[in-house]
Amino acid sequence: MDKQVLFQKFVAFTTSVHEVTDELTKDVKSDTITPVQYSILEYLAVSQPATLSQISDCLPMSMPNTSRELRKLGEKNLCEKFDVAEDRRKQYIRLSKEGQAMMNEAFQRIEKRFLQRIQGTSEEDLEQIELALDVLSSRVFHSR
C-alpha cells in the first residue's frame, strides 16, 4: 500500500467532510449565539453532563474563556450548572430545557439535510456506508 497516496486521499477526504458539515450546519445556529457558543452547546448535546475542564480540553479553549462563554450561555438560559457531590470544586454543566430544545431543532434540521443527501441510496449502499463509518471511526479517527 502506497501510504503517500493514502495520505492524499485522507486530506481530500477531510476537506470534503469539512465542506459538507459546513453546508449541513449552515444557518442552523440561532443568531442569538456566537459560533463558539454553538460549539459548546453542540459538545454538551453529545457529552452532557460535562465539567468545565472537559469542555475546555475538548474544544479546545482556555479555562477563563470557557468560563466566560458558559456564563453568557447561562445568562441566555441555554445551560445550567450543578454542584458535584463528590468534589465541590467541580461543576457539571448541562443543557437547560431551552438549550436542549434549541439543539434538538438544530439537529433535526441537520438530519433532514443529511437524509436528503443520501436519499435514493440503495439499501446495499447504505450498509456499505455504515460499515465504512465504523471502519474509519475505529481505525483512523479514534481519539487517543
Partner DNA sequence: GGATTTACTTATCAAATGATAAGTAAAGAG
Partner DNA sequence: CTCTTTACTTATCATTTGATAAGTAAATCC
Residues forming contacts to a second copy in the complex (CB under 8 A) are 1, 3-4, 6-7, 9-23, 46, 58, 60, 107, 110-111, 114-115, 117-118, 121, 123, 125-137, 139-144
CA 18 – CA 20 distance, rounded (Å)? 6
Q: Answer with the entry of DNA, a second copy, none that 101 interacts with (C-beta below 5 to 8 A by kind).
A: none
Q: Does 58 bind DNA (CB under 7 A)?
A: no
Q: Answer with the entry of a second copy, DNA, none that 126 interacts with (C-beta below 5 to 8 A by kind).
A: a second copy
Nearer to a second copy (CB atom), residue 57 or residue 83: 57
Total binding residues toward DNA, as defined by CB under 7 A:
24
- Name residue 95's beta-bridge partners: 79
Please give the helix or strand (H or E) that residue 94 lies within, else none. Answer: strand 91-95
The residue behind cell 437547560 is 96
CA 40 – CA 56 distance, rounded (Å)? 9
Q: Does 88 bind DNA (CB under 7 A)?
A: yes
Nearer to DNA (CB atom), residue 49 or residue 114: 49
Sign of CA dihedral 96, 37, 69, 64: positive
* Piece of 7-15, 50-58, 104-112, 125-133 that binds DNA (CB under 7 A): 50-58
CA 9 – CA 87 distance, rounded (Å)? 46
First to last CA, the chain: 24
Residues making contact with DNA (CB under 7 A): 34-37, 51-53, 61-71, 81, 87-91
